[in-house]
Amino acid sequence: MGKPEPSPEDQELLEAYQAGAFESDLDAKRRTAIATSAEKASRKPPRTPKQHQGATESGREPKTNGKGPIVLGIGNPWRGDDGIGHAVVEALRDTPGLTTATCSGEPAELMDLWQDHDPVILVDAIVTGAAPGTLHRLDAREPLPRGARYSSHGIGLAEAVELARALDALPPTLIVHGIEPAHLEDGTGLSLQAIDAIPRAARRILDDLTLAISPDRCAR
């Protein structure tokens, strides 16, 4: 049985993505490279597990190639609580056997970072109207609610995940942990509610990882 045809909504996303409609902080050369990598991801054979640790000279986490769990923090730390995903990843950075990385949430970059990893956990600010600091958990085996995330790049997290689904590029296990923001203004730091949510979100993520993987699957 062949792959089902994408819904009209997903087809619209695919066409916009292919037309380069989503803005990005990445330069054109880098954007083209990771988009090509993402498109080839589902056709690549399994690679030997390998863990990259530490950061590059630019301060950004290196691209990871090894299998195993990964937590990706999404957002923009220069826009108030939109930086909460980065902050939660920072709190989890030294967890043994866990790969962590941060990004803006551009679809091609997400697919490139989570390639060959399982489980994959995304952490982001999610706007639903709940009280600031409220924690949300979504399982991407089911379509995510569209338009639930404030985005500084023209596409929300739900749309990025659904685009990956349409491209057949989702990891086997993909869980989204969201934190309700208090403010998202340019040039502001994390709110007190977001800071209070960091350890709570980190504990929930570690609980998810404990349930999702057996001890002998963790990279050492």
| Distance in angstroms (rounded) separating the CA atoms of residues 188 and 126 | 17
| Domain of residue 128, residue span | 8-43+67-217
Q: What is the pLDDT, as a whole number, of residue 2?
A: 55
Q: What are residue 135's DSSP bridge partners?
A: 179
Q: Please, which residues have CB within 8 angstroms of residue 126's CB and are 6 or more apart in sequence?
A: 136, 148, 149, 157, 176, 178, 179, 180
Outline where DSSP puts E strands in the chain. Answer: 70-74, 99-103, 120-125, 135-139, 174-179
Distance from C-alpha of 72 to C-alpha of 176, rounded to nearest angstrom: 10
User: 2 in a domain, yes or no?
Assistant: no
Whole-number pLDDT of residue 52 = 35
For position 13, what pLDDT does the model report? 57
Give pLDDT, residue 171.
92
Q: Is position 39 within any domain? A: yes
Is residue 27's pLDDT more than 70?
no
| Longest pairwise C-alpha distance within the chain | 51
Strand, helix or coil at 217?
helix
φ, ψ dihedrals at 73, nearest 5°: -90, 125
The CATH code of the domain that includes 177 is: 3.40.50.1450
pLDDT, position 54: 36
| Residue 55, domain member (yes or no) | no
Q: Is the pLDDT at 44 greater than 80, yes or no?
A: no
Q: What is the mean pLDDT of residues 24-48?
A: 47
The pLDDT, as a whole number, for residue 61 is 46
Domain-embedded: residue 142: yes
190 lies in some domain: yes
Please, what is the average pLDDT of the chain?
75
Lowest mean pLDDT of 67-71, 152-156, 207-211, name the range.
152-156
How far apart CA 206 and CA 146 sit, in angstroms, is 26
Give the burial string for 81-92 (b: 16+ CB within 10 Å, else e). Answer: bbbbbbbbbbbb
pLDDT digits (tens, 9 = 90+) for 77-115: 999 999 999 999 999 999 999 999 999 888 888 999 999
Q: Mean pLDDT throughout 7-12?
A: 62
pLDDT at 23 over 50: no
60, part of any domain: no
Sorted by sequence, the CB contacts under 8 Å of residue 104 that are 6+ apart come out as 24, 25, 26, 74, 75, 76, 152, 153
Bridge partners of 150? none
**What pTM was estimated for this model as a whole?**
0.70
Q: Which two tokens stand for residue 143?
A: 């379509």
pLDDT for 171-209, tens place per residue?
Answer: 999 999 999 999 988 888 999 999 999 999 999 999 999
Rg (the chain; Cα; Å): 17
**Does residue 29 carry a pLDDT above 80?**
no
Confidence at 159, pLDDT banded by 50, 70, 90:
confident
Of residues 64 and 85, more confidently modeled = 85
Number of domains in the chain: 1
pLDDT (average), residues 151-168 = 74
For residue 66, with 0-12 CB atoms within 10 Å meaning exposed, 13-18 middle and 19 or more buried, which class applies?
A: middle
| 59 domain-assigned | no
Residue 48 lies in a domain: no
What pLDDT does 16 receive? 57
Tokens of 12: 């619209």
